[in-house]
Amino acid sequence: MFVLVEMVDTVRIPPWLFERRLNDAIAEELNKKLANKVVYKVGLCICLYDITKLEDSYIFPGDGASHSKVHFRYVVFRPFLDEIIIGKIKGCSQEGVYVTLGFFDDILIPPESLQQPAKFDETEQVWMWEYETEEGTHDLYMDVGEDVRFRMVDEIGRA
């Protein structure tokens, strides 16, 4: 679910951060740039783990900032396929069940992936699973705020 990803970037340090230690200024700028952002083919960036290599810094004409090529490792949220994840139901609609992990809200369980037979209750605006027993069927509602376990079967936005 969480992985360390090795990355390389050129970090611009503005002049007003020159009074700070270089590693601290770079860490601040990297977290400003990447934290809470989804990077294509990487995942949701959480925070800087460490700086592994720091190359020479340069100041270009017309720009008072220093530019340093930095090799670093970043903590990234990237669930793998078929991973079982526990979240909370954020909402329901005809499109399916929306789930939140607290720090990540863009999870949709489409109707065809719900436990079957399932149907959408228009009046309650919730999905329900029609659980069959020997005594008959029981409607089990998927209410907002309830915990739910789901399997990661597909990802959109990362190739």
Q: What is the CATH number of the domain that holds 40?
A: 3.30.1490.120
Which residues make beta-bridge pairs with 13? 66
Taking only the tens place, the pLDDT of each residue in 24-82 is 999 999 999 999 888 888 888 999 999 999 999 899 998 889 999 999 999 998 888 88
Q: Is the domain of 103 the same as that of 57? A: no
Q: Is the domain of 69 the same as that of 30? A: yes
CATH of the domain at 104: 2.40.50.140
Q: Residue 156: which pLDDT band, with cuts at 50, 70 and 90?
A: low
Q: Is the domain of 68 the same as that of 93? A: no
Counting the structural domains of the chain, the total is 2
Domain that holds residue 117: 84-151
| Residue 48: partners with Cβ closer than 8 Å, 6 or more residues away | 27, 30, 31, 34, 35, 72, 73, 74, 75
Whether pTM > 0.75 for this model: the answer is no
At 143, the amino acid letter reads: D
